Structure 1
Amino acid sequence: MKKDIHIPKVENVYIAVVNEYNDIYKTNDWKAYIINDKTVDLEMVLIVSKGFSETKETSVMRHKLDRLPAKSYAKIELMQDEVLQLNNEFKVTFFEGSVMFDKTFLFRKNTINEKALQTIPVMNTKGVLVK
């Protein structure tokens, strides 16, 4: 029975954390984004995120996007500095046509920092990326 279940591999969908300037509060804030680098739209995108370590765990956050167009991105959430010291997990589920995809993206503790910045696809900015 299990051998009959096919779970397709997620490709060209990423989670990025970008350090952006906040005009209202005059601060630099880390924000998480989902990126669709595919040539097709993603439908019913569900994202469940949490931070955790051996001794601490954050609340579970849930996000839903009805549609994420091809070659686009959407903001998921603001990430407070205290959360960056934890492992940050983003479980993403979406439909591409009638096929469901699922992947867990993990930022290890303290890996979201200025030294880890790289070019982020589709967004044309710098940030920390998990594929």
Structure 2
Amino acid sequence: MKKDIQIPEVSGVEMAIVLEHNEVHKTDDWNVYIINKKDIAIEMVVIVSQGFSETKTTSVFRKKIDLLSGNSIAKIELIQPELFALDNRFQVTFFENNTLQDKTFTFKKDTIKESNLQIIQPFNKRGVIIS
């Protein structure tokens, strides 16, 4: 029975943590985004995020996006820099052409730092991206 289950490999979806200036509060904020690089929309996107280490665990955060158009981005959450000392996991589940897809993205501890930032398109802002 298990041999009959096909789990498709997810491609064309990425997660990014981006440093952005907040004009309202005059602060530099870190925001988490999902990027759909596919030409088609993905539906019923559910993102479950949590920070963790051997001794600490954050609360679980859930976000749902009904439809993420092809070649588009969506802001998921604001993330506090104190959480960069933890591994930050984002489990992404969605439907593509009526097929359930699932992928886990993990930003390892201490990888979100100035020396690892690069210009991320389509933001044209500095951040870290995982495919």
Shift of 1:74: 0.3
Does the CA contact (< 8 Å) of 1:44 and 1:64 recur in 2?
A: yes
Out of 112-121 and 64-73, give the one that drifted further.
Answer: 112-121
Which SS does the other structure have where 2:83 is aligned?
helix
State the 1:87 CA deviation.
0.3
Q: Hey, what does 1:110 align to over in structure 2?
A: 110
Instruction: Summarize deviations over 1:55-104 as a string: whole Å, max 9, x none.
Output: 10000000000000000000000000111111000000000111110000
C-alpha RMSD over aligned residues:
1.0
2:23 is aligned to: 23
Q: Identity rate of aligned residues, in percent?
A: 55
| Long gaps (5+) in structure 2 | none
**Deviation above 4 Å: which 4+ runs of structure 1?**
none
| Equivalences, count | 131
* Residue 61 (structure 1) aligned with residue 61 (structure 2): yes
Q: Give TM-score, length-normalised by structure 2.
A: 0.96
State the secondary structure of the residue aligned to 1:115: helix
Structure 1 unaligned residues grouped into runs of 5+: none
Per the alignment, residue 71 of structure 2 pairs with 71
How far 1:23 sits from its partner (Å)? Answer: 1.2
One-letter amino acid of the counterpart of residue 129, structure 2? L
What is the match of residue 51 of structure 2? 51
SS at 1:77 equivalent: strand
Structure 2 residue identity aligned to 1:64: K
Counterpart-to-counterpart distance in 2, 1:120 and 1:24: 23
Inter-partner Cα distance in structure 2 for 1:120 and 1:4: 39
User: What is the TM-score with the length of structure 1 in the denominator?
Assistant: 0.96
Aligned to 1:95: 95
